[in-house]
Amino acid sequence: MKKSYLTALIIISAYALHGCSDRQNATDESPTEEMAKDVSTADDAASVDAREAELVIAADDFKCLDKMTKVRHFFVDNLLAPVDATLAVAQSTTGGVYPPGSVVQLVPTEVMVKHHEGWNAATKDWEFFELDVTNEGSSIRNRGFTDVVNRFGGNCLDCHVKAKPQFDLICELDHGCDPIPISREVIAGIQAADPRCAT
């Protein structure tokens, strides 16, 4: 009797914890998916709006850096549209606002993805990701907006928010961010060793 009560308690708490972690430590499933599902039964026009409002990002969306478009020393892509508009901003020396769906990477394990306008004012609509990468692909270790901390203990936004406003949170070396202690030469080596490109 006592044992079955305990088992029930364990199951309930595991369930509650799971629900909680789904919400808080964003994993592969974005909380926005739920919102989009709720509105998908609305009429056609509203569904189109919902699809446009939704940018569901999963581990499979991230690929080997070689399959992205290289701009100077970093890589870009777009999950919603052809890469041209993203590329134009990345190539501009005077900055610009990246279009929704833009993906930017310097190293295989850290990514910024741009959501639709108004998604998150604090991060200028960027979502930060920290990935684990192997020759089998990417998995999402950590994702979110203001509270994503990389494996070296640095909060993504704390550094990137210091970029001059015209650069839309993109740091490079001279946009005003705190520097990272890795030279461009080492970065090039890390890029070339992206294990996802091996397959």
The full length of the chain comes to 199
Q: Which of residues 86, 123, 148, 191 is near ligand HEC by CB under 6 A? A: 148
| Rg value, the chain, Cα | 19
- If binding is defined by CB under 6 A, does position 26 make contact with ligand HEC? no
Phi-psi region at 99: left, alpha or beta (left = phi > 0; alpha = psi -120 to 50): beta
Task: Return the range that interacts with ligand HEC (CB under 6 A); candidates 7-15, 29-37, 45-53, 99-107.
Answer: 99-107
Asked if 68 touches ligand HEC (CB under 6 A), the answer is no
CB atoms within 10 A of CB 30: 20
Is 55 a binding residue for ligand HEC by CB under 6 A? The answer is no
Contacts of 40 (CB under 8 A, 6+ apart): 47, 50
Which is nearest to 195 in space by CA: 89, 63, 6, 94?
63
Stretch of 21-29, 32-40, 54-62, 178-186 contacting ligand HEC, by CB under 6 A: 178-186
Which position among 159, 161, 190, 197 is part of the footprint of ligand HEC (CB under 6 A)? 159
Measured CA to CA in angstroms, residue 79 lies from 2, 27, 76, 129, 162 at distances of 53, 18, 10, 15, 26
Q: Does 147 bind ligand HEC (CB under 6 A)?
A: no
Interactions with ligand HEC, residue window 102-121 (CB under 6 A): 104-106, 110-112
Count residues contacting ligand HEC (CB under 6 A)?
28
Does 174 engage in binding with ligand HEC (CB under 6 A)?
no
Specify whether the CB–CB gap between 17 and 48 falls below 8 A: no
Q: Which residues of this chain interact with ligand HEC, rule CB under 6 A?
A: 73-74, 104-106, 110-112, 128-130, 148, 150, 154-156, 159-160, 170-173, 177-180, 184, 187
